[in-house]
Structure 1
Amino acid sequence: MTGRQRALLGVIVGVTLAVVAAVGVPMNTLADSIRGVRPEAVLGVSAIFLTQQALRAARQRLLAEGLGPRGSFAEHHAVLCMSFFFINTLPARLGELARPWLLQRRVGLPIGAGVAVVLTERLFDLSAALIMLQLALVSAPMPEATISLGDRELSLASLARGLALTVLLPASLGALALGLTGERLVGLGLRGLGAARRRAPDRLKTVLQRAEDGAQALSGNLIVGLNVLRAPRRLAQALGLTAIIWAWTGLQYVALAWGLGLELPYLGGLGVLSVTMLGTALPAPPGFVGVYEAACRGALGLFAAPHAAATALAFALIIHWGIWLTQVATALVSFVWTGLRPAEVLAQSRRNQSA
């Protein structure tokens, strides 16, 4: 799939989900809900996000120091702020390609090592999202809703908890196993993919060969990053920082729920956070427009007390764009401090994508 095709798919998905998120919401009621939010709740969301950025910069520095120059905390913080501005603004997560280049430019980390840092972080964050969702589904109170399946009425809460045990538990354990065993598990997966290619019909061999080549390229960088964590102390620090980052970030959702008069327990907030994290992995237009709102509103329907549709959409819009504006502000400060221009970083990201 070409870059234009991915961008077009993202727009289609985003527009579709934006319509889904807005279904049943009168615009005048939505405007009233947004105007009625407590300002201190919005400021609290921004303050939590700023702290999260600092924690993520500390984790990035921890992972990078085992692969090259350590760099100062200020440099890592600036790199992270600029990178996530592009990730949260451009389509197809193009900002992920900016971070390795920025790490090379500002910290002196080789490009391959920068890719390893990004992949290792993403593996840790995926594990965290799966674990948070599992905790929320198993422990958070959920509405007593049912769905009809033929002549049977099934509890939505029971279905969700069954999903946690049958799908999310194995997935989270698999992600953690990959993080802890690294090279051995990756090698096993590559051997399995190679065996499947050799036994596949001729018409599928080319497709599987491309998949195998791509997996080998990515896994090589991932193994480099995971090998850094063989030191028990560094692994414990990385796991601890990841747990703190996402436990702290969940407070954003609880704070905004309070600001809108919405009842959302802390574990429910972790559930909403994890669903939005996983939802933004879908193809999306710039800024995750529509995708974030649909994921957030759907998660609120599962984890929050009964509420008006306008309140849920107001929640999704405020937290999405409030965080984005805070991200833009920190990125602008970082661009001024480093002397880099956004156009320069964007051009390099496009060159990295072509490569």
Structure 2
Amino acid sequence: MKRAAKLLVSLLMTVVFSWWAFRETDWNSLMASLRTANYLWVVPYFGFLMLVHLARTLRWGCLLSGMEQVPFRKLNEASGIGFMMLLVLPFRLGEFARPLLIAQRSSIRRSAAMTSVVLERITDGMFVAALMRVLLMFVPAEVPELRFVKLGANLMFAVFASGLVFLLFALWHQDTAVRLVRATVGRVAPPVADKMADVVDSFVGAMRQLPNRRQMAGFFLFTLIYWGVNGAGVAVLSRAFGESLSLTLFQAYVVNCVLVVGVMIPAAPGMVGTFQAAVKVGLSLFLPASVVNGSGLAYANVLWLCQTVQQVGLGVLLMSAGHLSFRDLAGRLNKVQAQEQDTAAAGTLPSA
């Protein structure tokens, strides 16, 4: 029942955001834009997407290097397949894919690998939120959507910054952090508090295995490259839809930041609906509604399709090369999530 409820909510979110994104669509303009677009720009955009994958993979390797120097082939397999599973599987099953895959290809424990994923998520959340707040300072204040975008950026920064502050506190005062969790969450849900306390212990243990300064510098460098190339790619693909939609680098980075905030909203696999709605909001900060509701939405759909094809295609290729079965991997991930939920109810954390 719990999974059925989650699926229903995610599908409902997809329907709601899809309706909002396309409710004012100029379908004639959208279809004309799709027919007349210069799809040669898709070729360099796929090049940008591969650079994004490479930067994302190498920076993960920097984080893991404190535990083990994982060969690039194994790291690339775990990264490419993991991000594909994150995109296509429901119930956030894909969150466990990279830790599971890298644990099978190295001596790194799954819990420690999961910690590296959490650190990536916190870093990305804070970086994008901070970047968006800076960029929004240069967007004309009379744009109606601006206040909602600022609110999203502030909420995003607050959530990830709070998580980082607590985890740093736990790193320096582990026992106090555990007691704090038990004293607060434990009053409402003791089993959840036990789970959270064990997660804090596991996280702190993994944090103490962080790589040296050189590798951490590499992690932050690849983070800059990752988001820099990502935003530049958004600008490149916009060229396919003519002068009326061609985004400057500044505009592309704003749109990309808004997109990141948008796809954080839980939705059905594939991010359909939330993706298009977020791109529409981002474009609305710079372009008139007549453009956004026609060629703008055509661009949003092509952008979504390119990212989906690249991510899924690369994952399938790596899975085939590694002689892996999608069904078997999905089944293992399902068992991992079920195990996590069972231990949360029991108040204990299994060894990974």
Alignment TM-score > 0.5, same fold:
yes
Distance 1:134 1:271 in 2: 9
1:16 lines up with 2:16 in the alignment: yes
**5 Å matches for 1:1-355?**
2-68=2-68, 70-139=69-138, 141-142=139-140, 144-146=142-144, 157=146, 159=147, 163=151, 174=162, 177=165, 183-184=171-172, 191-197=179-185, 205-207=187-189, 209-229=190-210, 231-261=212-242, 262-302=245-285, 304-306=286-288, 307-355=291-339
- Where does residue 347 of structure 2 map in the other structure? none
Distance 1:126 1:165 in 2: 9
Kindly indicate whether the alpha-carbon contact (under 8 Å) linking 1:100 and 1:111 is maintained by their aligned counterparts in 2.
yes
Distance 1:132 1:342 in 2: 37
| Equivalent residue letter for 1:56 | R
Deviation, 1:85, is: 0.7
Kindly indicate whether the alpha-carbon contact (under 8 Å) linking 2:258 and 2:278 is maintained by their aligned counterparts in 1.
yes
Distance 1:294 1:220 in 2: 39
- Give the structure-2-normalised TM-score: 0.85
How many residue pairs were aligned?
A: 335
1:203-258 CA-to-partner distances (Å, cap 9, x unmatched) read xx343x34433433443343344333373223222122112111111112111222
- Where does residue 152 of structure 1 map in the other structure? none
Cα 1:226/1:265, change in 2 over 3 Å: farther
Distance 1:89 1:212 in 2: 31
Cα 1:91/1:169, change in 2 over 3 Å: closer
Kindly indicate whether the alpha-carbon contact (under 8 Å) linking 1:113 and 1:221 is maintained by their aligned counterparts in 2.
yes
- Match of 2:270, SS state, is helix
Segments of structure 1 that go 5 or more residues without pairing to the other structure are 147-155, 199-204
- Match of 2:70, SS state, is coil
Cα 1:271/1:210, change in 2 over 3 Å: farther
Distance 1:315 1:186 in 2: 48
Bigger mean CA deviation after superposition, 189-198 or 335-344: 189-198
Distance 2:55 2:121 in 1: 15
Distance 1:161 1:81 in 2: 31
Segments of structure 2 that go 5 or more residues without pairing to the other structure are 340-352
- Give the structure-1-normalised TM-score: 0.84
Kindly indicate whether the alpha-carbon contact (under 8 Å) linking 1:127 and 1:175 is maintained by their aligned counterparts in 2.
no
Distance 2:80 2:59 in 1: 13
Kindly indicate whether the alpha-carbon contact (under 8 Å) linking 1:119 and 1:222 is maintained by their aligned counterparts in 2.
no
Cα 1:22/1:226, change in 2 over 3 Å: same
